Amino acid sequence: MARALVARPLTLPYSNNSEYNNSRRLWCTARSNNGRDASPAIKLAVEGVTELLRLFSSKNPRESNARNREKMPPISCVEDVLEVIQDDYQRAYFLTGKFTLDIYAEDCLFEDPTIKFRGRERYGQNLDLLVPFFDNPSLELEEIQKDLCVETGSILASWKLRTYLKLPWRPLISIKGKTTYNLDQDYKIKRHSESWNISAIEAIGQIFGFSSREIDG
């Protein structure tokens, strides 16, 4: 019998502390290149696998996404958006598909080192496809702050994700990453961009059991 879903998020409070802000500026200039984009061939393969999962899924993604939609509170500033994102991390949205759909622009750009596409509905559908494959998953939010590297509204979150997959060889997926949320003038997220501490090749290798390196610290 598959293990029950266990998501253990850790949220850290918003801070205007000057010492933290100084360290954030250093972080901005030292972002790792380890999570660099995959080659076009790998991206095409990932998109193909995603479409196959969508084709053979017994779920109705649109209905499932509607059930998972969280009610959005009034939004009037970047800090309001940050709080909504924090709440979504408390729901471990990467792992459960339960996120606040309305905080995203309809044509929001979603990207990580292996895939890139537009559309918040499609993002919800992709999460719905992946959630059934997670076994004993854990998502920890390490930090979430307004991004000081850009002048326009932007939020930066760092996190750790660890899960086994419900495949015969039960591979371990272990990634440390950052997600940048770029906002438009209406405080909607127009870009949701992930970077990882491992390369796209290594991330895909984990699925096939070629790499099981634990995330650093």
For the chain, how many structural domains are there in total? 1
pLDDT score for 10: 42
Looking at residues 187-214, what average pLDDT do you find? 86
Q: Are 190 and 183 in contact, with CB atoms under 8 Å apart?
A: yes
Q: Which domain holds residue 95?
A: 37-207
In a domain, 214, yes or no: no
What pTM did the predictor assign?
0.74
Q: In what order do the strands lie in the sheet with 189-196?
A: 115-118, 104-112, 189-196, 172-183, 154-165, 134-146
CATH number at residue 71: 3.10.450.50
In a domain, 153, yes or no: yes
In a domain, 184, yes or no: yes
183 — pLDDT class (breaks 50, 70, 90)? very high
Q: Who's near 93: CB < 8 A, 6+ residues apart? A: 99, 127
Q: Who's near 149: CB < 8 A, 6+ residues apart? A: 24, 25, 28, 156
Helices (H), 91-197: 93-96, 120-130
In a domain, 202, yes or no: yes
In a domain, 56, yes or no: yes
Looking at residues 2-21, what average pLDDT do you find? 41
Q: Are 104 and 123 in contact, with CB atoms under 8 Å apart?
A: yes
In a domain, 61, yes or no: yes
Q: Is 93 helix (H, G, I), strand (E, B) or coil?
A: helix
Paired tokens of 75: 């939004």
- Taking CA atoms, 202 is separated from 34, 42, 131, 159, in Å, by 10, 12, 21, 18
Q: Are 197 and 179 in contact, with CB atoms under 8 Å apart?
A: no
Judge whether residue 139 has pLDDT over 90: yes
Alpha carbon distance 48, 31 (integer Å): 30
71 — pLDDT class (breaks 50, 70, 90)? confident
In a domain, 26, yes or no: no
54 — pLDDT class (breaks 50, 70, 90)? low
pLDDT score for 3: 38
